[in-house]
Amino acid sequence: MINIAILGFGTVGSGVYEIVRQNGENLKKKINNDIDIKYILDIRDFSSHPESKLFVKDFDIIANDPEVDIVVEVIGGLSPAYDFTKAALAAGKHVVTSNKELVATHGTELFELAEKNGVNYMFEASVGGGIPLIRPLMQCLAANNITEIYGILNGTTNYILTQMIKKNKSFEDALSDAQAMGYAERNPAADIEGHDACRKICILASLAFGRHIDCDNIYTEGITKISLDDVKYADALGCVIKLIGYACTYGKDKVFARVSPMLVPVSSPLAGVDDVFNAILVNGNFVGEVMFYGRGAGKLPTASAVMADVIDIAKDVSVQKRMTWKKAETDIALDINDSESVMFVRIKADDIESAKKKVITAIPGAEFVCANLLDGEIAFLTPKQTEKSLNNALATLDGVVSVIRVKQD
């Protein structure tokens, strides 16, 4: 018998409960053992729940019960999830989590603690909801050096951008829609400012490149400045605007990660990823491009990913999986200023010809695009250069309306 304890009976926690209760027979077959929920920890009152006897408010009951094999931490946030996770691992219990903030912030320490105690700390559900990602990256692409990752990692912003692109709604209206649909929080900053995507690309990049990249070292730009005019230009260029979590290796020892809106050519499989769907495009040196697509959030998709980890552990609780990363010994993150980009730029221009001259002087090789799309402005694509040199050049120009990075084919 495998006993699990669920920490947090919110959206994901109740989804895990539902899957175990609905699909128990099937799970039993897959793990060749009985599996049951022994405790559910939640500070709220669930005394009228049909299985109210499972609910506890004191974490020590779980930590001290030797019958608990796997702790499912789906509380979210750092506190008290961090302390509970450390205590569970120290007590020799496997921990499975959907908590991206905790994995991105303290993953390295928690992996070490798990290893020391002969257990696993697993986090498939922390990125991409139900989309299989961690095992494909670590096992199926194991023969490859992963060189690049492009991810649509946040469903809320992808829904907003899709509404702007397909329904011609303003950012503000699309955000209100997303809130009305329950896709965005009343305080939407974590989504629209890119922080959620930042944690996810932090996890993916750390895993793919084997060493931890600190979220603080990941340049993060949200979608709040994207306008319908930008969407119109993107369309004229055969692109759509997506919020992209990007990571790549750089030279021999460096890695680079960034979250920002990008112009994505419609020929890219990422361009067709709409609404709240997520997708992660990975480039491996042997396999080429592969992409994983699905629902990046939601009760049952996320719980499905949690249960994948639970099943994997439950098949043999004595096995350590090693789907982790190490602490970076040196500063491995390339600074955004030293990274290279192609930028799409719009600037105000009363006098088109003189404005163009200034652009060419500031940025030799700039390519003007979408002539006359909007009155009183010009638009151009820069050559690929370091962001430092591009920003220095752009600082010499007046009336910059918008600057968006461009995904190269």
As annotated, the active-site residues are 200
**How far apart are the C-alpha atoms of 175 and 161, rounded to whole Å?**
9
**Which amino acid, 160?**
I
Residue 189 makes contact with its own copies by CB under 8 A: no
**How far apart are the C-alpha atoms of 115 and 322, rounded to whole Å?**
8
For its own copies, the closer of residues 100 and 295 by Cβ is 295
Beta carbons within 8 Å of 26's beta carbon, 6+ residues apart: none
Report phi then psi at 278, rounded to 5: -115, 160
**How far apart are the C-alpha atoms of 227 and 215, rounded to whole Å?**
27
Long-range contacts of 29-34 (CB under 8 A, 24+ apart): 30/311, 30/315, 31/2, 31/311, 31/314, 31/315, 32/315, 33/1, 33/2, 33/314, 34/1, 34/2
Q: Which residue has the tokens 């003007």?
A: 368
Report phi then psi at 125, rounded to 5: -80, -5
- State both tokens at 266: 């419609």
* The only residue of 300, 359, 378, 393 in contact with its own copies, by rule CB under 8 A: 300
* The only residue of 4, 5, 7, 27 in contact with its own copies, by rule CB under 8 A: 27
Query: For residues 102-161, which are near its own copies according to CB under 8 A?
Result: 124, 130-132, 135-136, 139-145
Residue 307 makes contact with its own copies by CB under 8 A: yes
Query: For residues 312-331, which are near its own copies according to CB under 8 A?
Result: 312
* The only residue of 7, 62, 218, 273 in contact with its own copies, by rule CB under 8 A: 273
Beta carbons within 8 Å of 83's beta carbon, 6+ residues apart: none
- Write each residue from 367 to 406 as x if it is in contact with its own copies (CB under 8 A), else as -, in one continuous string: ----------------------------------------
Residue 304 makes contact with its own copies by CB under 8 A: yes
Q: Which listed range, 190-198, 301-309, 366-374, 386-394, lies at the site for its own copies (CB under 8 A)? A: 301-309
- State both tokens at 178: 């997303």
For its own copies, the closer of residues 43 and 319 by Cβ is 319
**How far apart are the C-alpha atoms of 157 and 311, rounded to whole Å?**
32
For its own copies, the closer of residues 130 and 245 by Cβ is 130
Tell which phi-psi region holds residue 342, choosing left (phi > 0), alpha (psi between -120 and 50) or beta: beta
Q: Which listed range, 171-179, 289-297, 347-355, 364-372, lies at the site for its own copies (CB under 8 A)? A: 289-297
Residue 356 makes contact with its own copies by CB under 8 A: no
What one-character-per-residue DSSP string does 349-387 give? Answer: -SSHHHHHHHHHHHSTT-EEESTTSSTTEEEEEPPSEEH
Q: Which listed range, 43-51, 65-73, 307-315, 399-407, lies at the site for its own copies (CB under 8 A)? A: 307-315
For its own copies, the closer of residues 140 and 400 by Cβ is 140
**How far apart are the C-alpha atoms of 122 and 125, rounded to whole Å?**
9
Residue 265 makes contact with its own copies by CB under 8 A: no
Smallest distance, its own copies to C-beta of residue 322, A: 8
Burial grade of 368 (CB within 10 A; 0-12, 13-18, 19 or more) = middle
Residue 308 makes contact with its own copies by CB under 8 A: yes
Residue 182 makes contact with its own copies by CB under 8 A: no
Collapse the DSSP code of 177 into the 3-class scheme (helix H, G, I; strand E, B; otherwise coil) and give the result.
helix
Q: How many residues bind its own copies (CB under 8 A)?
A: 49
Residue 287 makes contact with its own copies by CB under 8 A: yes
* The only residue of 295, 346, 405, 407 in contact with its own copies, by rule CB under 8 A: 295
**How far apart are the C-alpha atoms of 350 and 144, rounded to whole Å?**
52
For its own copies, the closer of residues 200 and 295 by Cβ is 295
Residues making contact with its own copies (CB under 8 A): 15, 19, 23, 26-27, 30, 124, 130-132, 135-136, 139-145, 267, 269, 271-274, 277, 284-295, 298, 300-301, 303-305, 307-308, 310-312
